[in-house]
Amino acid sequence: MLEQLRDIVQQVNSARDLLSALDIIVVRVREVMATQVCSVYLFDNDMNAHVLMASKGLRKEAVGHVSLEIGEGLVGLVAKHAEPINLKDASMHPSFHYIQETGEESFHSFLGVPIIHHRSVLGVVVVQHEQERRFDEGEEAFLITLSAQLAGVIASAEATGAIAGISPSGQKISDTVFAGVSGASGVAIGEMVVVFPKANLFQVPIRPARDIDKEINYFSAALHKVREDMRDIYERLAGQVADEERQLFDVYLHMLDDDALAKEVLDRIKGGHWAQGALAEVALEHIRSFEMMPDDYLRERAVDIKDLCSRVLFYLQQGGQVQAEYSENTILVGEELTPAMLAEVPENKLKGIVSLKGSGNSHVAILARTMGIPTVMGVVDLPINRLDGKKVILDGYKGELIGNPSEIVRRRYENTVKEQAELNAGLEELKDLPCSTADNHRVHLWVNTGLIADVARSLDQGAEGVGLFRTEVPFLLSERFPSEHEQAEIYREQLEAFSPLPVTMRTLDIGGDKALSYFPIKEENPFLGWRGIRVTLDHPEIFTAQIRAMMRASEGLANLQIMLPMVSNVNEVKLAIQLIKRAYRELVQEGLSIKYPPIGVMIELPAAVYQTKSLASLVDFVSIGSNDLTQYLLAVDRNNPRVASLYSAFHPAVLSAIYHVVREAQEVGKLVSICGEMAGDPGAAVLLMAMGFDVLSMNAASLPKVKSVIRSISRGAAQELLGQVLQMDDAQAVRSAVDLTLYNAGVDRLLRSSHIH
Ligand code: PEP
Ligand code: MG
């Protein structure tokens, strides 16, 4: 059974579109389960009904025509309750709804199973039989398993249609919502530009050719190069491998012949596609059909085609036309975006960012927030290679994309964009005003830096210090560990720019989702593994070089603070302090005139929360890293969109842990700050202010928003709100209470919606 299951799923996976996927399902399930009928009904949003999309066994004419409204018939009932229905004789059931067109009167037994994706019912798969018998447990379990596995495939096939403006039943549709997670608030309207890794056939977007003749030439040149390579390899292998294996290269060469693959690609280019897209499409079709072959040997050939076509793609991309064209309103899309990809887009053209992978607290999202670019993360079902050039609306408040926007929806969002601009202009005016509550309680707003050269921007927003300088960035951009002097230069720039304001430099925090290409860490559970201080204490030479660089850079300035990430026990702190003291002594002996910096510990693990007093007693300050603290307290991977809805800094457990840290730190007389993204959410900032934080540190783009909200509320009202929410048992209720308080304080609606849920 397992073998058959895997087989069906693989076949469906390789189908070229939704209808062929469904056809494969009905044919194969009917055969494997030895039933007389297998049908799939899909819910069509536009028609608000379940449409019979494919069937083997019912009348052909019914397919695409028969539909059942919500709750109508047995299919409607399966969907409504999201539960299987297994009947010996369907016609006896009160919900049975006979539709003449299908010719199903002769089938008695009925098993319907819902197809569920992300909690919503996409449709129903049904098997039927003439015999009056209940399907047995094994059969039911098989269909449930299959349906669970197919839901994702069906969802992405539906999304492919939807992005082209077509519903499952072939109707023209608009305003299709693609759900993701908010990465950075704001709205953008524009055209998608897909960025994709090199030599990856699966992500090449389909684009029109700008000049067909040129594309043909690029393709011919690339083919020529691959042919040469193949011949070279063939020659080189003479005498080294068996002749049959050498023959493989002959096969490769034949595949490239003008009447085979190459012809198909050329035809598509002549039809108006750019060469890379044409090649990728042809390659994928062939790979799919080979993968579906029952014969092992033939199935293996899929690998050959992939290899061969990847080689051609490699040369095509070397041809120099990979550079994307960025439109005036670019919405940058990638499966996994990197800071370098964002940096490539001219700043005034980048209006929005979409990442298929990742979640609201992935580092790309944090970077996007720093840049103030509306961002949606984790839109997992989007078909990456069908998006280029498509017009969309990006709603960074809700974390969704709207495909094929209608005039009405577009106008509504255009108004929001205008509102946003007006709001920002208003915030500009707050720049030089202090951050004090309506009843004159002073709150200190600092910034997080490091992800880009954002010094100027931070100072411009009126930052009073740096609460977190993520030092890993220069390490990520380098090809080897930067030397002590190279690091010192970078750190000096930060310290000088902010002097006399304090700059908190965090020691190297790699591991988790931040990998250095020259120091790869391969682990099953990277977030629970070798990360942050665990790595640097195991490599004291790296730690010491960094500490020396920081202190060297601080010569003559007195504004350096050093902070330790990912601390889980006191010994790590003690050992780190020993190393810092030793480095300090050495530098002083070398004749440098430096001040010993204040040292701080990040509280980002549950263990650290419960040892706040012990940890704080060893150092000068503590700073809460709420991004990781939320992830570790709730056991929700901050990068995983599947569980993103569970990730909430408003979860009562998170709030009470944070409040605990503040009180414990205060009891031992130590300063306490917070530098997670939560501090940049205006509503959360109000709660944090009420808790008594000395410093809130956030991305530069959030600073004016937080300032504006804090200025419009009194400390008394904030404390009252805190008292209320600490009694609540649910994140959503907390969020609503915070929103209501902001509403009553007259806070703009765009400042109330935010990236944390
Ligand atoms: C945090 O975990 O809250 C934090 C500030 O650090 P990072 O996001 O870099 O892990
Ligand atoms: Mg962290």
Would you list the DSSP string of 19-75?
A: HHHHHHHHHHHHHHHT-SEEEEEEEETTTTEEEEEEEESS-GGGTTT-EEETT-HHH
Same domain, 262 and 387: no
Residues 79 and 95: beta-carbon distance below 8 Å: no
Same domain, 619 and 569: yes
Query: Residue 214: inside a domain, yes or no?
Result: yes
> SS3 of 354, please?
strand
| Separation of alpha carbons 222 and 220, rounded Å | 5
Q: Give this prediction's pTM.
A: 0.86
User: Per the residue annotation, which of 286, 651, 675, 757 is the catalytic one?
Assistant: 675
Q: Which of ligand 1's atoms lies nearest the C-alpha of 363?
A: 8
Cα–ligand 1 centroid distance for 335 (angstroms): 23
Residue 126: CATH number of its domain: 3.30.450.40
| Separation of alpha carbons 113 and 177, rounded Å | 25
| Separation of alpha carbons 756 and 748, rounded Å | 17
| Separation of alpha carbons 629 and 635, rounded Å | 10
- Spell out the residues 6+ positions from residue 477 whose beta carbon is closer than 8 angstroms to its own: 340
Cα–ligand 2 centroid distance for 625 (angstroms): 5
Nearest Cα to Cα of residue 725 among 688, 670, 677, 681: 688
Ligand 1: residue whose CA is nearest its atom 6: 625
Same domain, 126 and 92: yes
Angle between helix 296-318 and helix 243-255 axes, rounded to 10 deg: 60
Q: Which 8-state DSSP code applies to residue 481?
A: P
Cα–ligand 2 centroid distance for 585 (angstroms): 29
Cα–ligand 2 centroid distance for 756 (angstroms): 16
Residue 651: CATH number of its domain: 3.20.20.60
Query: Residue 431: inside a domain, yes or no?
Result: no
Same domain, 330 and 304: no
Query: Residue 660: inside a domain, yes or no?
Result: yes
Percent of the chain with pLDDT over 70: 97
Residue from 604, 632, 638, 654 to probe ligand 1 pocket by mutation (most atoms less than 8 Å from CB): 604
Residue from 675, 693, 696, 755 to probe ligand 1 pocket by mutation (most atoms less than 8 Å from CB): 675
The confidence score (pLDDT) of residue 755 equals 47
Q: Which of 319, 340, 374 is the last residue of a domain?
A: 319
Ligand 1: residue whose CA is nearest its atom 1: 625
Residue 191: CATH number of its domain: 3.50.30.10
Same domain, 184 and 120: no
Query: Residue 433: inside a domain, yes or no?
Result: no
Cα–ligand 2 centroid distance for 501 (angstroms): 23
The confidence score (pLDDT) of residue 340 equals 73
Same domain, 465 and 580: yes
Cα–ligand 1 centroid distance for 540 (angstroms): 22
Residues 439 and 715: beta-carbon distance below 8 Å: yes
| Separation of alpha carbons 558 and 594, rounded Å | 8
Ligand 1: residue whose CA is nearest its atom 4: 625
The confidence score (pLDDT) of residue 431 equals 86
Same domain, 263 and 140: no
pLDDT tens per residue across span 81-96: 999 999 999 999 998 8
φ, ψ (nearest 5 deg) of residue 89: -140, 100
| Separation of alpha carbons 275 and 163, rounded Å | 22
How many domains are there within the chain? 4
pLDDT tens per residue across span 455-484: 667 777 889 999 999 998 888 878 899 999
Q: Which of ligand 1's atoms lies nearest the C-alpha of 512?
A: 10
- What's the average pLDDT block by block, 10 residues per block, for the chain (757 residues)? 82 83 94 95 91 95 91 93 95 87 89 94 96 94 93 90 89 92 94 87 88 91 87 74 70 75 91 92 85 75 83 82 79 86 86 94 86 92 90 95 96 95 91 92 93 67 92 86 95 94 97 87 94 97 98 97 98 98 98 97 98 98 98 95 93 98 98 96 97 95 94 96 98 96 92 61
Active site residue 309: no
Residues 183 and 364: beta-carbon distance below 8 Å: yes
Residue from 369, 447, 468, 510 to probe ligand 1 pocket by mutation (most atoms less than 8 Å from CB): 468
The ligand whose atoms approach the alpha carbon of 366 most closely is 1
Query: Residue 346: inside a domain, yes or no?
Result: yes
Same domain, 559 and 688: yes
Distances (CA, A) of 490 to 464, 549, 552: 20, 9, 11
- Token pair 């700050």 is found at 673
Q: Which of 304, 319, 334 is the last residue of a domain?
A: 319
Query: Residue 22: inside a domain, yes or no?
Result: yes
Ligand 1 is surrounded, with C-beta below 6 A, by: 468, 470, 509, 604, 625-628, 675-676
The confidence score (pLDDT) of residue 492 equals 95
Residue 270: CATH number of its domain: 1.10.274.10
| Separation of alpha carbons 133 and 110, rounded Å | 9
Same domain, 407 and 468: no
Q: Which 8-state DSSP code applies to residue 745?
A: T
Cα–ligand 2 centroid distance for 603 (angstroms): 9
Query: Residue 384: inside a domain, yes or no?
Result: yes
For 268, the domain range is: 201-319
pLDDT tens per residue across span 653-704: 999 999 999 999 999 999 999 999 999 999 999 999 999 999 999 998 899 9
Same domain, 358 and 315: no
The ligand whose atoms approach the alpha carbon of 649 most closely is 1
φ, ψ (nearest 5 deg) of residue 69: -75, 170
| Separation of first and last alpha carbons in the chain | 42
φ, ψ (nearest 5 deg) of residue 391: -85, 130
Same domain, 447 and 474: yes
Active site residue 38: no
Query: Residue 755: inside a domain, yes or no?
Result: no
Q: What secondary structure does DSSP assign to 90-124, as a single string?
A: GGGSTT----GGGTGGG--EEEEEEEEETTEEEEE
Q: Which of 287, 319, 351 is the last residue of a domain?
A: 319
Q: Which of ligand 1's atoms lies nearest the C-alpha of 627?
A: 3
Query: Average pLDDT of the chain?
Result: 91
Residues 24 and 154: beta-carbon distance below 8 Å: no
User: Edge-to-edge, what's the strand order for the sheet holding 85-87?
Assistant: 67-69, 49-56, 37-44, 120-129, 109-117, 85-87
Same domain, 223 and 275: yes
Residue from 359, 470, 624 to probe ligand 1 pocket by mutation (most atoms less than 8 Å from CB): 470
User: Per the residue annotation, which of 286, 363, 651, 755 is the catalytic one?
Assistant: 363
